[in-house]
Structure 1
């Protein structure tokens, strides 16, 4: 791609903890909510995606998670709004972590699908984004969760549903 004119630029440095650090045996002794609490307290490092996107908080209770992130210019697509992939990542994080919060010791999960509905554009003027994920139904092998993303004014900007597959360690 050839640049024909000088553009104003910004920069950003991202630092994250390398995954797999810490006491993994201890991690596997905790249930899902305990794992999320250990991440929030700093006992375990947060996943790198939180630093990559600039997520600022993750609060969990059983079956419910709230993730926050300020909308930033580095999230933008070419049209000057927050990229749909960033919004989808927030929704996926909240929905999947809500399922994570229900895991028993020795259970793991993975996302099977994510269906997103974009309701309004998101820009830096949207301020602090808050995404709440809740479990709708939790079975032995699958869980259905939803997530709602709101801007700082409390307006709903996107919604998603997600199915997660639940597995036992070693399966």
Structure 2
């Protein structure tokens, strides 16, 4: 099975992710990476990327990393976010990693970095529980 092709198909079937312009960079068993080019519409009034955009990236990275082990029919049942620094720059990079997997549940963690001038700045951390609902 081509995991990256499957993840790309799932991504393309999600209207919200298409609206944002999220790009899948890699998908391997237990890990995933996304890139989101930044647009003016993603910023809040203080000049940083809105927390909802960052949280969406964290959630997707968690879910896709866990889904690479549990199967494509998964949902996030809970997740926690730690915002560390303001997100600014050309793009955001999200990386997700499965930490523990059972038959129906997996725990995953994720990181979001701001990309600017070739540098990566850690913006947020996430951890969540993912549930297999089908497949």
Aligned-pair CA distance for 1:127: 1.8
Tell me what 1:65 maps to.
32
Which stretches in structure 2 are left out of the alignment for 5+ residues? none
Tell me what 1:158 maps to.
124
Distance in 2 between residues matched to 1:141 and 1:90, nearest whole Å: 23
Q: Is the 8 A contact 1:39 1:46 kept in 2?
A: no
Report the CA distance shift for 1:55/1:43 in structure 2 as closer, same or farther (over 3 A).
closer
Higher strand share: 2
Tell me what 1:111 maps to.
76
4+ long deviations beyond 3 Å: 42-46
- Say whether residues 1:76 and 2:63 are aligned partners: no
More contact order relative to length (CA 8 Å, sep ≥ 6) = 2
Task: Report the structure number with the largest CA radius of gyration.
Answer: 1
Distance in 1 between residues matched to 2:129 and 2:10, nearest whole Å: 29
Report the 3-state secondary structure (helix = DSSP H, G, I; strand = E; otherwise coil) of the residue aligned with 1:60.
strand
1:32-54: per-residue Cα shift (whole Å, max 9, x none)? x64x51453x6983422222112
User: Given the two structures, how large is their TM-score scaled by the length of structure 2?
Assistant: 0.85
Distance in 2 between residues matched to 1:73 and 1:94, nearest whole Å: 23
Q: Is the 8 A contact 2:7 2:64 kept in 1?
A: no
User: Given the two structures, how large is their TM-score scaled by the length of structure 1?
Assistant: 0.68
Which stretches in structure 1 are left out of the alignment for 5+ residues? 1-30
